[in-house]
Amino acid sequence: MRTLLFAVALAVLAGSICSAQVAAGANAGYQTAEGRARVAQSLANPEREKEQKPRELIASIGVKKGDVVADIGTGVGFMIPYFLEAIGPQGKIYAEDIQQDFLDQLQTHKSEQGWQNVETILGGQVDPKLPANTMDVAFILDAYHHFEQPTETIRAIKGALKADGRLVVVDFYRFRSREGRDPDWAKNHIRADRDEFRAEIEAAGLEFERTFDHLPYQYAMVFRKANR
């Protein structure tokens, strides 16, 4: 029995190390200012609205007027104007990222647009540093696969949710090709597929609610704060 348990433990450890290595590879482009500038340019691409369908996505997850939303891994703030439409002036957005240069660009845009209910937060690699028990919705778009320590990060996010708060993760299927992109991109870039991500998040203490396809190559998963 001890031998079996030891073998299982080694397999789990090996899987965790492999996932962390894949995530670290996906994060390689963020290690230099030049790399982040290239990423920022792609995040701000005007074609992204047509490709990502943000209004349809927000409607599908049920964001409503007055909600407090954490946009985790906000980048340069692609989703911010669409969330502002949904939550209205009584709501609030915490725009979090671990890259200060992304947040600087977002801060400039915030000033230009006069957004009063958007607060930027420089998070850490593990802890996004969100205020506790505050969020109606924590939202992660195309960023969960970059988490190098997902269990610890999800636990920190759980602490930021209200008692009835939700976590929404939107990411790419690992084995579905995206038009115009190398068919091996997702396989080499995304560290795990949807069901593995679901298991990680449930193990960190959130209750799975539902999943749906947002795009042919992308899914959304919704979780509730668990009472444990």
Residue 178 token pair: 């995206």
Predicted local distance difference test score (pLDDT) of residue 44: 54
pLDDT confidence bin for 8, thresholds 50/70/90: very low
pLDDT at residue 183 tops 80: no
| 174, pLDDT greater than 50 | yes
pTM of the full predicted structure?
0.80
Instruction: Give the side-chain half-sphere CA count within 13 A for 9.
Output: 6
The domain spanning residue 98 has which CATH number? 3.40.50.150
Residue 130's pLDDT band (boundaries 50, 70, 90)? Answer: very high
Q: Cα dist. 225→138, 153, 164, 172, 207 in Å?
A: 11, 14, 6, 23, 6
Domain span at residue 119 reads: 2-225
The DSSP-derived string for 6-38 is: HHHHHHHHHHHHHHHHHHHHHTGGGSSHHHHHH
3-state SS class at 121? strand
Q: Quote the number of domains for the chain.
A: 1
Given a cut of 70, whether residue 124 has pLDDT beyond it is yes
pLDDT digits (tens, 9 = 90+) for 105-114: 999 999 999 9
Q: Is the pLDDT of residue 12 over 60?
A: no
Percent of the chain with pLDDT over 90: 66
